[in-house]
Amino acid sequence: MIRLIDLLVKAIAYSSCIGIGAASITLIYNATRTFNFAHASLVAWGMYVVFALTYLAGHTPYHHLLPAALFCGLIGGAIYLTVNRRLLKAKAKDITLMMSTLGVDLILFGFLNVFSDYLLRFHRLPAKYFILETRDTVLNIGPLSIRLVGVVAPAILVAVVILLHSFLTKTKLGISMRAAIENPELLSLSGANPELTYAIAWLIGGALAGLSGALLTLVVSGYTAAGMTMIATFFAGAIVGGLYSIYGALLGGLLVGLGEYLGVSFIASLAGGWVYAYRPALPLLVMAVTLLIQPAGLAALWGARR
Amino acid sequence: MIELPPVVLQVILNFSIGLIVTVSLNIEVGFLGLPQFGRLLAVLTGALVAAAVPGRILAAYLGLPWGAEYAYHLYNFGIVAKINEVLLQAPALSLGVLLFTLVLAALVGGLVGYLCAYPALRLREAYLGITLLAFGDLLMTIAWNYDPLVGGTTGIWVVDPFRFVGAGGARFTFATLFMLLVAATVYAYAELLARSPFGRTLKAVRDAEVAASVYGKDVVRVRTQTLMVGGAMAAVAGALWAFFTGSMKAATYTRLTWTFWPWAFMMLGGIGSNLGVLLGVFLYTVTRTAIIIYKGALSAVIPIDPEWLEYIMIGLIIVAVVLFRPQGIIPERPVLALPRSRIEAVREKLGEEGERGAGSD
């Protein structure tokens, strides 16, 4: 029973993180047609910012969620200004946009490893491989003890949904962002600046990726290639969500994460422990099947069209 | 046998393998415009064929265990050592094993390409790219965990068809030259393909799919055939690499090395241009080897581990090419179907006829 609750809490925390990350991919894809491969390293940078600050500045990892999100948001903005903006202006093809983020990802990955070496050499931190799970607070509710992340991660997911929703429907900038996604030329004719909305999309997208990585430090172990390992799961979340709806992505990420965690445990309870090794294959399979059977994803369920 | 310095051999070897994979990628991406982000799938398939099949056949022939226990690491070492002893004495058998495996790898790689046509006909752009990428990672996860195939996480040894020429340097030289030969063949094939009616059909489908199908080109068939050709080539590269390294561990076949790097080579050289691809692979191989050789000197100047420098460098190359020279170093040019002299001759003949026609009026 206690094991089951532990598993459930972890699954909820993990899938919330995937949901937040999937929303980042969807947001950037919709605003700028760019399928963001650099997401992998943004997530990993989020993890490392939390790790470094937790060790160097103290406090709990939760104190450093915001700096991590901010830092990755700035990287996102920088990616837009240096690479993405020029390509959008040149009306580059989707594949070219995608390849450019792959290049950015490799650069960010290289620098992340340099940063990790620096932490290891000059601060003697275990930067090659770290686990912050043990620094999590344990809540005692009656007979149950639940890790704080199991509450915080879904709470942040809900907060992200509410904030994004009010931003996109209530603020002028958010509304013009939706317009920029629908029809950039018409928007610029009406006097608004689509470039600003693209930049904001990258800022928010980067921040969400960083936030997702920052929270993930409390669920999974951290290493520089962690983002690369998990990137397929994030993509799966975004694609299962339909790739055109941010709410779909949040839900899709949640489902893929839960499916990966609980699905494998369930199959393992029937077929035996060897199933656990195939865990990384599950989100890939879910994604491939979704794409081949229902490419519009979950968003099609409530009739959301781009 | 000629003795080349190991550095030169290493460059030729990496160049040859890189060329085969990148040429195969270029046929799919450059000629046909498919977002092939799953090159790893076919390469890994080839490596799996080389690791799992010839060793088992030889083991069965020699009366050694060849079933699931062949891949069990405690037995595998002994079995492969015995097979290698036999291969060492039998050059004809070694060459036979080598060629048979390459043909088999090409066939299975072609089959993988055929299977990839299913999503490739239904999905577009980013969706297709991600699906193919997922397929590559799926196969890697399976090969990494399913022990009876190639030993899972412990890996297995691969039989060595290069060893009969001698140990160490001789084997290295032979393997390198053999790979160069295969790479040259693949390159020549790609060049012929570009000049053939089939190559022109590919580019027509890429540039104007509707127009091509209106003119009676079977787009479905063209896509399927291209995926099969590309898959077969990449699988040959995978099999060669597995033979050369002499061991098989699925996790060493990453999408970074076998998908993203070839993409970078291709983009640097020029998407759709065979000569560009050749140059891209060559430039990159030389630079990379230089980084490895001058590792010590480099880290004295820049306090960065050269391994990370390599990532940053490839990333910068991709970004710079995309931003400043999207057509690559040697851009794609219309390929002349006939040699220039023949074209000139035809033109002159037409000109004469034209003059005669004008005179008779």
- pLDDT value at A214 more than 60: yes
Is B115 domain-assigned? yes
Is B315 domain-assigned? no
Distances, alpha carbon A302 to alpha carbons A288, B229, B351, in Å:
21, 42, 67
| CA–CA gap between residue A259 and residue A257 (Å, rounded) | 5
Give the model's pLDDT for residue A148: 86
Is B256 domain-assigned? yes
Give B190 or A180, the one with higher predicted confidence: B190
Lowest mean pLDDT of A283-297, B82-96, B100-114, B201-215, name the range.
A283-297
* Number of C-beta neighbours around residue A4 at 10 A: 9
Contact list in A for residue B123 (CB cut-off 8 A) is: 291-292, 295
Q: Where are the domains of chain A?
A: 20-230
Summarize the confidence of residues B196-211 as an average pLDDT. 88
| CA–CA gap between residue B83 and residue B60 (Å, rounded) | 10
Q: For residue A231, give the H/E element and its range.
A: helix A226-240
pLDDT in tens, B337-350: 777 788 888 888 88
Contact list in A for residue B305 (CB cut-off 8 A) is: 113-114, 117
| CA–CA gap between residue A81 and residue A75 (Å, rounded) | 10
Lowest mean pLDDT of A1-15, A146-160, B175-189, name the range.
A1-15
Nearest-CA distance from B73 to chain A in Å?
18
pLDDT in tens, A54-110: 999 888 888 899 999 999 999 999 999 999 999 988 888 888 888 899 999 999 999
Contacts of B275 (CB under 8 A, 6+ apart): B269, B330
Contact list in B for residue A235 (CB cut-off 8 A) is: 130, 134
| CA–CA gap between residue B321 and residue B327 (Å, rounded) | 8
Tally the domains of chain B: 1
Is B305 domain-assigned? no
Question: Mean pLDDT, chain B, as a whole number?
Answer: 87
Give the model's pLDDT for residue B2: 59
Give the model's pLDDT for residue A305: 45
- pLDDT value at B22 more than 90: yes
Give the alpha-carbon dihedral of B129, B130, B135, B138, to 10 degrees: 150
Cβ–Cβ gap A103/B129 under 8 Å: no
Give the model's pLDDT for residue B185: 96
Cβ–Cβ gap A110/B130 under 8 Å: no
**The dihedral of CA A73, A75, A78, A79: what is its sign?**
negative
Give the model's pLDDT for residue B39: 94
| CA–CA gap between residue A106 and residue B295 (Å, rounded) | 20
pLDDT in tens, A128-142: 898 888 888 888 777
Chain B: residue whose CA lies nearest to A118:
B304
Does the beta carbon of A281 lie under 8 angstroms from any beta carbon of chain B? yes
Who among B138, B260, B315 is closest to A110 (CB)? Answer: B315
The single-letter code of the amino acid at B297 is: A
Who among B119, B145, B256 is closest to A278 (CB)? Answer: B145
Based on DSSP, count helices (H) and strands (E) in chain B, helices before strands: 16, 2
Summarize the confidence of residues A111-116 as an average pLDDT. 94
Chain B: residue whose CA lies nearest to A93:
B125
Contact list in B for residue A106 (CB cut-off 8 A) is: 260, 311-312, 314-315, 318
Is B157 domain-assigned? yes
Summarize the confidence of residues A143-163 as an average pLDDT. 87
Percent of chain B whose predicted confidence (pLDDT) is above 90 = 33
**Tokens matching residue B4:** 């080349």
Q: Which among A109, A106, A112, A83 has a CA at the least distance from the CA of A96?
A: A83
Give the ipTM. Answer: 0.87
Chain B: residue whose CA lies nearest to A99:
B318
- pLDDT value at A115 more than 90: yes
* Number of C-beta neighbours around residue B75 at 10 A: 15
Does the beta carbon of A232 lie under 8 angstroms from any beta carbon of chain B? yes
| CA–CA gap between residue B221 and residue B186 (Å, rounded) | 22
Cβ–Cβ gap B135/A292 under 8 Å: no
Q: Which residues of A39-72 are buried (b: 16+ CB within 10 A; e: fewer)?
A: bbbbbbbbbbbbbbbbbeeeeebbebbebbbebb
B361 falls in which pLDDT band (50, 70, 90)?
Answer: very low
Cβ–Cβ gap B308/A99 under 8 Å: no
Contact list in B for residue A111 (CB cut-off 8 A) is: 308, 312
Nearest-CA distance from A214 to chain B in Å?
23
Is B181 domain-assigned? yes
Cβ–Cβ gap A228/B316 under 8 Å: no
pLDDT in tens, A221-238: 999 999 988 888 899 888
pTM above 0.80, yes or no: yes
Is B332 domain-assigned? no
B234 falls in which pLDDT band (50, 70, 90)?
Answer: very high
Under 8 Å between Cβ of A21 and A241? no
Does the beta carbon of B68 lie under 8 angstroms from any beta carbon of chain A? no
Write out the residue range of the structural domain in which residue B130 sits: 6-261
Q: What angle do CA B262, B266, B269 make, to 5 degrees?
A: 140
Contact list in B for residue A104 (CB cut-off 8 A) is: 315, 319
**The dihedral of CA B126, B128, B131, B132: what is its sign?**
negative
Percent of chain B whose predicted confidence (pLDDT) is above 70 = 97
**Ordered DSSP codes for A20-81:** HHHHHHHHHHHHHS---TTHHHHHHHHHHHHHHHHHHH-S-GGGGHHHHHHHHHHHHHHHII
Is B296 domain-assigned? no
Give the model's pLDDT for residue B354: 65
Portion 92-151 of A in contact with B at CB < 8 A: 92, 94-96, 98-100, 102-111, 113-114, 117
Cβ–Cβ gap B142/A278 under 8 Å: yes
A303 falls in which pLDDT band (50, 70, 90)?
Answer: low
* Number of C-beta neighbours around residue B250 at 10 A: 24
Give B284 or B339, the one with higher predicted confidence: B284
Query: SS3 for B19?
Result: helix
